[in-house]
Amino acid sequence: MSGVRVSRESGVLFVSLDRPEKLNAIDTEMAHALREAFEAAADDDSVRVVLLMSTGRAFCAGQDLADPGVAPGSDLGATIERNYNPLIRAMRKLRKPVLACVNGVAAGAGANLAFAADIVVAARSASFIESFSRIGLLPDSGGTWMLPRLFGQARAIGIAMLGERISAEQAHAWGAIWDVVDDDKLIETCTVLARTLAQAPTRALGAIKAAFEAGWTSTLEDALDRERDLQRELGATHDYAEGLAAFGEKRKPDFKGR
């Protein structure tokens, strides 16, 4: 009903945009369902990775432009504050990896939803469009923050101003996404990667995510202090003890995410 399907298997929370007849364009209900899925993932120790994916031919066409709530003259800031900002915050604050599996076009907030993931894998036929400027808007959903970081300032501002379609291969060649794979290998590649991440030392991955993000706005001195504090916390985890034991015993570690 909400346009989002959620299921769980072996530590992986599958969150799927499921409004294919609208190219998975996001309405209020979907935005809230997505946010709730990420917030629930934070509270659930059995979830160790979130795999964000979509049904149909598109990943996500961004905001549903047919929604009366975004008609000219309406308060777009209110829509963003209610629907998009809480979603992006929930994704970025989650101390667990988020993997985006981009099957087709990702436009507007749909592109920035994918870029808010930690690891992005795209099908060769997929593409990204910062389509905001085509309709007189600026990139939202964290785009103005994320695009220069992923693409570098020169490309980011070109992408945002021109609103041109960027192929998955181009995004990969520019270093903005983790991988691009043949269309028929996408689901398998993402599922394998998600299972690998679900067996990783979750606390360490969460600390990596938080430290990288904090690092964007801090000095080296602050980063060194943060690394010391986080490493102290990680040194007290089961997974560190297990990692060291497995190394000594020359076996595969059995990480528990705690």
Binding residues for ligand LHQ, rule: CB under 6 A, are 22-23, 25, 61-66, 70, 76, 79-80, 84, 105, 107-109, 129, 131-132, 135, 137, 140
- φ/ψ of residue 41, rounded to 5: -60, -35
Q: Are 92 and 126 in contact (CB under 8 A)?
A: no
Amino acid at the residue 126: A
The Cα–Cα gap between 125 and 237 comes to 42
* 127/237 with CB nearer ligand LHQ: 127
* 54/63 with CB nearer ligand LHQ: 63
- Supply the minimum distance, in Å, between the C-beta of residue 13 and ligand LHQ: 24
The tokens for 6 are: 């959620």
- Among 36, 31, 41, 88, residue whose Cα is nearest residue 63: 31
The Cα–Cα gap between 235 and 213 comes to 21
- φ/ψ of residue 46, rounded to 5: -75, -15
- Supply the minimum distance, in Å, between the C-beta of residue 101 and ligand LHQ: 18
- Among 205, 254, 214, residue whose Cα is nearest residue 234: 205
- Supply the minimum distance, in Å, between the C-beta of residue 160 and ligand LHQ: 12
The Cα–Cα gap between 223 and 216 comes to 9
- Supply the minimum distance, in Å, between the C-beta of residue 107 and ligand LHQ: 4
Do β-strands 179-181 and 127-129 pair in parallel, antiparallel, or remain unpaired? unpaired
- Supply the minimum distance, in Å, between the C-beta of residue 22 and ligand LHQ: 6
The Cα–Cα gap between 197 and 199 comes to 5
- Supply the minimum distance, in Å, between the C-beta of residue 220 and ligand LHQ: 36
